[in-house]
Amino acid sequence: MRVLRVHLVGWTASFRYPIFVTGYQPTLPVPPVSTIYGLISAAKGEYVTPQDTKVGYVMRSDAKGVDLETIYMLSNDNSVKSNVYKREFLLNPDLYIYLTNLSFKEAFKKPEYSLLLGRSSDLIMVTEIKEIELIQKHGRKRVGGTVVPFCEEGIWGPLQALPMYFSNTIPREVIGIKPYYVLGDFIEYEGDSFLYDEELEWGVYIHG
C-alpha cells in the first residue's frame, strides 16, 4: 500500500483520559485516533474524517512528567472560577503518521494552523514528509505506539473506550466510540492485520 509518512517531533504532549473530568489528569501513552484526525485537519485547514483518508501512526516518548496547570471554569451566570490541578505530560514525543490519501503532502509542507499534540502548549513540528510502501509481512513483527480496536486477535494491552473522530458542530460530538487496546509499549505480533514499514522495522495498523 502506497502511503504518505509524516514525521513530527515536539517537546511535550498530553492525551487526556475521557473518564477523568476533574482532579488529577493522567495522560494516555499514545494519542487516540481522534487526535490524529484533529492534527490532519489543522494541517489541511479543513475538517478531515476517515472518509477523506485512512490513517496509521506510531508514537514514542522519552519519559512522563507531572506539571501544575491552572484552569478557568465558566458558569451559566458568566462568573469565572479558577482551579489548579496536576497534569501528566509526555516528554519528547516522536510521532510517525501514515495517510492513505497522498494529496495531503502539501498540507504538511505548509500547515494552515499550529500543529498540537494535546494542549495549546504542546506544539510539534514536521521534520520529514515521504511517500513509502507499506508491505504485507507475514510472521513475527514489532508493533506498538498506537491503539488497536478491541478483539484484534494476537493483541493485548490496557483497554480504553475512545472516539474515532469528532464532529465539526458546536458543541462537538464524539463519533465512533469503541474500545481500543492502548499499546504504549511495543509487543511481538504474528498476525496479518498490521502492514509493515521496512525502513523503521515496525508494524502499522491502518484505521478508517
Query: What are the pLDDT digits (tens) for 46-64?
Result: 999 999 999 999 999 999 9
Lowest mean per-residue pLDDT among 32-46, 66-80, 162-176: 66-80
Average pLDDT over residues 12-32: 88
User: What is the predicted pLDDT for the residue at 75?
Assistant: 83
Give percent helix, percent strand, percent coil of the chain, each to the nearest 5: 10, 45, 45
Residue 26 · residue 88 · CB < 8 Å: yes
pLDDT band of residue 18 (cuts 50, 70, 90) is confident
Average pLDDT over residues 86-100: 96
End-to-end CA gap in the chain: 14
Q: Is the pLDDT of residue 102 over 90?
A: yes
User: What is the predicted pLDDT for the residue at 20?
Assistant: 77
Q: Is the peptide bond before 171 cis (omega within 30 degrees of 0)?
A: yes
Q: Is 109 exposed, middle or buried (0-12, 13-18, 19+ CB in 10 A)?
A: exposed
Q: Is the pLDDT of residue 22 over 80?
A: no
State what percent of residues in the chain have pLDDT above 90.
80
pTM: 0.92
pLDDT band of residue 172 (cuts 50, 70, 90) is confident
State what percent of residues in the chain have pLDDT above 70.
100
pLDDT band of residue 119 (cuts 50, 70, 90) is confident
**Distance of CA 118 to CAs 10, 16, 39, 80, 84, Å?**
11, 8, 10, 23, 18
Residue 67 · residue 86 · CB < 8 Å: yes
User: What is the predicted pLDDT for the residue at 147?
Assistant: 97
Q: Considering the domain 2-73+80-207, what is its CATH architecture?
A: 2-Layer Sandwich (3.30)
Can you read off the three cell numbers belonging to residue 30? 499514545
The ranges assigned to domains in the chain are 2-73+80-207
Q: Is 8 exposed, middle or buried (0-12, 13-18, 19+ CB in 10 A)?
A: buried
